[in-house]
Structure 1
């Protein structure tokens, strides 16, 4: 579907809409199957200064690229919020300590994981999703033989 105010192609839909904030126009980009737009931004007025400029293939492709980048950045930010790690050295060994948060709607939780220098997992315990991963807590966990923190 390629209409002046509505394009559907390549798993995306671009819809030119009236901008409620002012007298201009906006464009909303929806990824197929998603209820909320991935991107909403201002849209150019047409030559008559009343109606929006019609969508075209170049604008649509640019919108897809921009909306895809917004989604990618959002996914990276979410991953960083849910996955933390740090390196800890003791007299005996070097460890990578990871905290992986599982954002379950009803009962969120997290896993505290220890890996050795070769990347082999040597311990895993379930902890609160609010567990604070820092150097002191990691060292205490190691010193307590990887028992579940209280």
Structure 2
């Protein structure tokens, strides 16, 4: 029978706080918590830039200038505080982009109806092969009155919504 040695208490594999094996913390490259920060040469001038890439994405979410080091030639090394700030900034950029995209693809107007206000929504579906929009009407309780498929370039306004309601929700042509 072979005796298996017990790991000592200073064995790093026993440390439950040790970093994930994929984490990298180098002066010009940090990978942690689903993000990668990389300090790169700025193509536009003699300075440096930093790019933030979220795991699984091909393009950076954020690219910005990076501070020069004390020697005025090399970049300042990345550190935990800088990385945290970059993650927060890149996350905010992505959040704003998602909000803008949502605002472009989803519209809503409310028009007065005979039995109460009617909310008309337009949800654009930017499908690669069959782009279209869904035009829907909801009563005051959120109950659906009508739903039709229409062209993705349909312009939802108070006037177009009223006209659609007056036509008994006939598909706009």
TM-score, normalised by the number of residues in structure 2 = 0.85
Instruction: Give the whole-Å Cα distance in 1 for the aligned partners of 2:25 and 2:31.
Output: 7
SS at match of 1:42: strand
| Aligned counterparts of 1:31 and 1:97: Cα–Cα separation in 2 | 36
Map of 2:165 onto structure 1: 142
The question of 1:54 aligning with 2:77 is answered yes
Deviation, structure 1 residue 91: 3.1
The TM-score, its normalising length taken from structure 1, stands at 0.98
Name the SS of the counterpart of 2:25 in structure 1: coil
Deviation at 1:105, TM superposition (A): 1.3
Stretches of 4+ aligned residues off by more than 2 angstroms: 90-93
Q: Which moved more, 1:104-113 or 1:23-32?
A: 104-113
C-alpha offsets along residues 86-109 of structure 1, whole Å, 9 cap, x if unaligned? 100033431000000001112210
Cα-to-partner distance string for 1:35-73 (whole Å, 9 max, x where unaligned): 000000000000000000000000000000000000000
* Pairwise CA distance, 1:32: 0.2
Asked whether 1:109 is paired with 2:132, we answer yes
Select the structure with the greater relative contact order (CA < 8 A; seq sep ≥ 6): 1
Distance in 1 of aligned mates of 2:140 and 2:116: 8
Q: Unpaired segments of 5 or more residues in structure 1?
A: none
Counterpart in the other structure of 2:89: 66
2:107 maps to 1:84: yes
The separation in 1 between residues aligned to 2:71 and 2:115, in whole angstroms, is: 75
1:45 to 52, 55, 68: 68
C-alpha RMSD of the superposition: 0.7
2:81 partner SS: helix
Name the count of aligned residue pairs. Answer: 150
